[in-house]
Structure 1
Amino acid sequence: MEEIKEIKKNYEMGFISSQEFLCEYAGVLSKLGAQGELIDAMNTVLAPLADFVVKDILNASDDEKKQIKDFFNFK
């Protein structure tokens, strides 16, 4: 769990990108899944995950927003 808190802190302070956050988090989850701590780890990170997804969408250029809308087929 300490690894996840460190990854979260690094992301929130802007030391790592959202992509790096996901890669590091996925690595920790794979280790924790074998140790039975997966649910706790997922609950710890759901809010920051949602936060950076929203920030990335809000900060996207108009072309990127159009691509996102097209991808999800929003009308």
Structure 2
Amino acid sequence: MSDGTRRFIAGAVIAVGAILVLLAGPCTAFFGGGALVELFRGGDASLAGFILAVSLIFGGLPTVAGVVLIINGWRSLRRR
């Protein structure tokens, strides 16, 4: 693989990872944080626990995947 192609693919991987983090991260923080606040206030624990679990599954996993893509793209970009 040529150097230009490798750099383009690494940049595309970083861009996709950044999009995942920017879209899924704040949503996960908002809903997960709201569920944690509700749990600490002593509200409906079953609903808050469900919201926390769902937000971590549907938002946390894409956020982690985006971070992994950014790290691997950066490593590939820095590799000579």
Q: Which TM-score band (shorter chain)?
A: 0.3 to 0.5
Larger helix proportion of the pair: 2
- Structure with more contact order per residue of length (Cα contacts < 8 Å, sep ≥ 6): 2
Structure whose alpha-carbon radius of gyration is higher: 2
TM-score (norm 2): 0.36
- Provide the TM-score with structure 1 as the length reference: 0.37
